[in-house]
């Protein structure tokens, strides 16, 4: 590294896209952090800067940014179903016997709830 002072990257970042890139990265990082806390899985924020010389110049550059994030997602629930030879899906195992289940009526009605009076 040379003895000349170089502008810190954090300061340069605040200048890019008039500060909008810094704000976008802040928002995307917050989204990833929320997803990581919710799922316990890893997330990422990726920033890419393409630096090119401006045509016809020796010292003027253009900087093009790209920002991507990967917010971890909760695992989706699985559904178990059975398939038929015809390609249909059914919710019950066709090889399992059906039980004739029915509701049982009770002769005693439910007793009313009592209120408890306590000391505060």
Give per-residue pLDDT as tens, 54-110: 999 989 999 999 999 999 999 988 988 888 888 888 888 888 888 888 888 877 777
R_g of the chain, CA atoms, integer Å: 32
For residue 45, how many other CB atoms are within 10 A of its CB?
19
Three-state DSSP class for residue 12: helix
**53: helix, coil or strand?**
strand
Amino acid 118: pLDDT:
74
- Look up the pTM and report it: 0.62
Q: Please, which pLDDT band fits residue 1 given cuts at 50, 70 and 90?
A: low
| Alpha-carbon distance values, 34 to 29, 30, 37, 42, 66 (Å) | 9, 6, 5, 11, 22
Give 99-119 pLDDT, tens digit per residue. Answer: 888 888 877 777 788 888 776
- Average of per-residue pLDDT across 17-38: 95
């Amino acid at each position: 590294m040379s003895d000349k002072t170089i502008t810190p990257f954090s300061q340069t970042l605040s200048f890019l896209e008039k500060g909008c890139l810094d704000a976008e990265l802040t928002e995307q990082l917050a989204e990833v952090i929320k997803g990581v806390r919710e799922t316990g899985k890893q997330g990422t924020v990726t920033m890419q800067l393409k630096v090119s010389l401006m045509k016809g110049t020796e010292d003027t550059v253009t900087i093009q940014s790209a920002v991507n994030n990967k917010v971890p997602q909760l695992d989706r629930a699985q559904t178990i179903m059975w398939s038929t030879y015809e390609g249909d899906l059914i919710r019950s195992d066709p090889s399992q016997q059906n039980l004739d289940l029915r509701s049982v009526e009770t002769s005693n009605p439910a007793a009313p709830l009592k209120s408890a009076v306590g000391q505060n």
